[in-house]
A and B are shown apart, each in its own frame.
Chain A
Amino acid sequence: MKPSQLARRSRFCRMVLAAVAIAAGAPAIADETSCSPFTPLIKGQEDLVYVWTLGVKGVGDGSDKLVTVDVNPKSKSYGKVIHKLSVGGRGEIHHVGLSDDRRFLWGGALDSNKIFIFDIGSNPAKPKLVKTITDFVEKTGFVGPHSFIAMPGRMLITPLSNKKDHGGETGIAVYNNKGEYVAHHAMPKEGGDGYGYDAGINPQKNVFLTSSFTGWNNYMMDLGKLVKDGEAMKRFGNTSVMWDMKTMKPIKVFQTPGAPLEVRWSWKSGENWAVTTTALTSKIWVYKQDAKGEWQVKDVGTIGDPAKIPLPVDISITADAKGMWINTFMDGTARYWDMSDPMRPKETYSKHIGSQVNMVSQSFDGKRVYFTSSLLGNWDKKGKDDEQFLKVFNWDGKDLKLAFEIDFYKEKLGRAHHMKFQARDLSTLKPLESAQAVLPLLAQSR
Chain B
Amino acid sequence: MKFFRVAILAGLFALAACDRAAPVAVPAPLGLPAIPAPPDAPLLKARIELGRSLFMDRRLSHNNTLSCGMCHVPEQGFTSNELGTAIGLEGQTIRRNSPTIYNVAYVEQLFHDGREFSLENQAWGPLLAGNEMANPSIGYVVEKIKALPEYAGRFEAAFDGRGPDMMTIGLALAAYQRTLVSAGSRFDAWRYGGTAGALNAEEQAGFALFTGKAGCVACHHVGEKTALFADNRFHNTGIGYANSMDLPRRHRVQLAPGKFVEIEDKALDAFEKRQPDVGRYEVTLDPADSWAYRTPSLRNVALTAPYMHDGSLATLGDVIEFYDRGGIDNPHKDPLLKPLGLSVAGKKSLVAFLGTLTGDNVPRLVAEARAAQPGEALPAKDPASTYKRAY
Contact = CB atoms under 8 A, between A and B. Distances in A.
Contacts of B378: 134
Interface in B68-87: 70, 73, 75-76, 80-85, 87
B272 interface: yes
A342 to B, nearest CB: 22
Interface in B289-322: 305-306, 311-312, 314
Contact of A165 (B75, B87, B314): B75
Interface residues of A, number: 54
A258 B258 CA distance: 11
Contacts of B63: 89, 91, 111-112
Interface stretch (A98-106, A179-187, A379-387): A379-387
Contact of B270 (A91, A231, A385): A385
A18 interface: no
B204 to A, nearest CB: 31
Given A165-B75, A306-B261, A235 B256 contact: no
A388 B124 CA distance: 37
Given A224-B270, A229-B84, A113 B65 contact: yes
A47 interface: no
Interface string B80-104: 1111110100110100000000000
Interface stretch (A69-77, A197-205, A214-222, A427-435): A214-222
A113 B314 CA distance: 31
Contacts of B312: 230
A163 B58 CA distance: 9
Contacts of B90: 90, 92, 111, 220, 377-378
A11 B90 CA distance: 40
A280 B255 contact: yes
A223 B271 contact: yes
Interface stretch (B150-158, B192-200, B246-254): B246-254
B389 interface: no
Contacts of A26: none
A227 interface: yes
B259 interface: yes
A235 B82 contact: yes
B257 A378 contact: no
Contact of A227 (B80, B87, B253, B305): B253
A324 B70 CA distance: 40
A216 B378 CA distance: 20
Nearest to A228: B251
A130 B259 CA distance: 47
B259 A281 contact: yes
Nearest to B249: A228
Interface string B268-287: 10111110000000000000
A211 B251 CA distance: 27
B87 A217 contact: yes
Given A89-B63, A137-B376, A257-B259, A229 B83 contact: yes
A264 B319 CA distance: 45
Most buried by A among B251, B253, B255: B255
Contacts of B87: 217, 220-221
* Chain A interface SS verdict (over half): loop
A308 B261 CA distance: 8
Contact of A231 (B84, B259, B273): B84
Contacts of B273: 224
A37 interface: no
Contacts of A222: 91, 93, 271-272
Contacts of A258: 255-256, 259
Contacts of A281: 255-256, 259
B263 interface: yes
A257 B312 CA distance: 24
Given A217-B82, A217-B83, A281-B259, A111 B254 contact: no
A165 B82 contact: yes
Contacts of B376: 135, 137-138, 163
Given A225-B272, A231-B306, A138 B73 contact: no
Interface string B361-378: 000000000000000111
Contacts of B253: 227, 233, 309
B197 to A, nearest CB: 35
A228 B270 contact: no
Contacts of A236: 256
B62 to A, nearest CB: 10
A158 interface: no
B268 A227 contact: yes
Contacts of B73: 164-165
Contact of B271 (A91, A233, A280, A382): A382
Nearest to A90: B90
Given A165-B76, A227-B263, A377 B255 contact: no
A385 B271 CA distance: 9
Interface in A358-389: 377-378, 381-383, 385
Nearest to A233: B254
B67 to A, nearest CB: 9
A167 B256 CA distance: 16
A235 B256 CA distance: 9
Nearest to B86: A217
Nearest to B67: A163
Contacts of B256: 236, 238, 257-258, 278, 280-281
A161 to B, nearest CB: 10
Contacts of B267: 308
A429 B83 CA distance: 48
A231 B305 CA distance: 9
A108 B257 CA distance: 30
Interface string A296-315: 00000000001111000000
A225 B64 CA distance: 24
A115 B274 CA distance: 34
A224 B267 CA distance: 9
Interface in B344-391: 376-378
B89 to A, nearest CB: 9
Contacts of B252: 230
Nearest to A112: B63
A249 interface: no
Contacts of B82: 165, 167, 215, 217, 231-232, 234-235
Contacts of B255: 233, 257-258, 280-281, 306, 309
Given A217-B82, A229-B85, A281-B256, 19 more contacts: A91-B63, A112-B65, A163-B58, A164-B73, A165-B75, A216-B65, A224-B268, A224-B271, A224-B273, A225-B272, A229-B84, A230-B84, A230-B306, A230-B312, A232-B84, A257-B256, A281-B255, A309-B253, A355-B270
16 contacts: A137-B376, A163-B376, A217-B83, A217-B87, A220-B87, A221-B91, A227-B263, A229-B85, A230-B254, A231-B84, A231-B314, A234-B254, A235-B82, A257-B259, A258-B255, A308-B267
Question: Which 7 pairs across A and B sit closest by C-beta, in order of nearness?
Answer: A224-B271, A220-B91, A257-B256, A138-B376, A381-B270, A224-B268, A222-B272
Interface of A: 89-92, 111-113, 134-135, 137-138, 143, 163-167, 215-217, 219-225, 227-236, 238, 257-258, 278, 280-281, 306-309, 355, 377-378, 381-383, 385
